[in-house]
Structure 1
Amino acid sequence: MTSLGPYAAFIVAAYAMVAAMVLILIGWIAVDYRQQRLRLRELEESGVVRRSRRSTMDMK
């Protein structure tokens, strides 16, 4: 750590905090993705249809 100079502890701590935040954000996105897919599945099972699945005749 001496090669980083007198601020080595600060530099290492800053990088560790950034790495932790990136991992937390990745986890949060993964959990939210699963929740959104589950909600979409529930809506489709209840009869709600996505606009992209409708044919052009259904939109008239």
Structure 2
Amino acid sequence: MTLGPYASFIVMSYVAVAAVVVALVIWVIVDYRRQKARLRDLEAAGAVRRSGRSAAEIK
């Protein structure tokens, strides 16, 4: 497969997009864990949910 004179631009574009997607996935995973920990802390402090479900039931 020949990409021509723009090969470096095309390859770098794909690399940049892949890096952004990986960064977003990592960000979502980290934020999910932080939100779960925050929810556990709130429930331990006595906060209740309107739905009446605990964090353990939502898994």
TM superposition score normalised by structure 2: 0.85
Percent identical: 60
Spell out structure 1 runs of 4+ moving beyond 6 A.
none
CA offset at residue 14 of structure 1?
Answer: 0.3
Structure with larger Rg: 1
Higher relative CO (CA 8 A, sep ≥ 6), structure 1 or 2?
A: 2
The alignment's C-alpha RMSD in Å is 1.4
**Structure 2, gaps ≥5 residues long:** 54-59
CA offset at residue 31 of structure 1?
Answer: 0.3
Residue aligning to 1:57: none
Once residues 17 and 10 of structure 2 are traced to their aligned partners in structure 1, the CA distance between those partners, rounded to angstroms, is 11
Give the length in aligned residue pairs. Answer: 53
